[in-house]
Structure 1
């Protein structure tokens, strides 16, 4: 059996920990580091990071270059890196680099089977609570306006999310129970059907709910004795955390057993500003993500 490599594609961004740590935590076999055309933008500690990585016999190191302030240049480089490793398991680290690099990374992931991920900032001094704000705008002038292409991101429909919410609180239910729940909740797919027989209602359930949710890996259908049971997957739970919910689905999530899911939704509604707190004892300091933006955007990397 052919063994695939785990490949990380990551853009230069004056960082080390958020580039290197995921390589080891996610057991990467290779890193494709996208550097700026202009070597003057590469810091000494980044050269040291490259030397350390190249000295590691387990991780292969490949470098490519792009203008990391130009979407076309960055997107072409990222997508080509993904394409060149299409037989491998590719991950795109969108934590570092310019905002353009992060956008390009997400676009590349949407048009491929690559998995994007983001590495959060950890405070250097978690006891500090002072919030840093700049004294002046980070950039004093603006440059050229570039329109970004949009790819449709289709999530589950409202009634599919309602079913996911029901499954999340009652994991491992039969199709009959799903139909009964749909009738009780008066979901359109079951209320508007002209099917009168049980067989017809099962077909409507399969076409509107089971098949699309299974194809998108939001649920799994498994045989349990003589029956088939439907269960929510982690991807389905992620959908409940990411997409807007109607009041009934929200109630199901809020009353469900998954504290982590409730916390994820609460955090999305009430952002935690811990990442913007001071990082050293001498006074406020700039968050790491803003460091990446605070270079001259008109410079040609």
Structure 2
């Protein structure tokens, strides 16, 4: 693989499924400096989705917040083998949840803004592959796929495949992620209506935007109240409603705003944008 990116650490992200060679050999071949293994956590909850402890202790598998005892022997061996030639880090994830994989991948990529980030989309579940691929579409991370030389069948006895026939870049088709302002407002709605039993209307969102100096209003602070509503709709409400992340609920003469189930998942996946940007 030739990245065409400026110099920086080479960071790899790989969902850890029932593989060994397809995880290890690209990291070795590409002389990666850091590799994050996304390890399935059977106890991970919806509230955990997208979260990454960037201050975690990655000095050894035993120090990590990863349920290694639930992994197979060869999955644990992958982690230990990688430690021999790079900085290996295990990160918990629900490998069967597309939004969690996407959120964890985008969060890791965001913390490595000055590095070259590569994502292996061929080593986890099909759902993990989709989440990892979408993460690449919304960040500068570069996806790659690894074709094995052969396949096995019983993943309890050994890795699903063996050897590496090729490592191929996957075309990157960018999609539009929620803006920082949209994620901020989604977070406010989440805190008030999901974590707490309250309701919010558009006026509440305008007050929040003014309190935090969000640019879509702060740059037009002398305009009328009606103009504030128009700018809120244009920058926040209408785009989120169109994407299916937000819904409007009649409440007398007003309309309350609420996140859809998809909106909740998308917020959890992109909540890092508020802290990083």
- Band the TM-score falls in, shorter-chain normalisation: 0.3 to 0.5
The structure in which a higher percent of residues are strand is 2
> TM-score when scaled to structure 2?
0.42
> TM-score when scaled to structure 1?
0.39
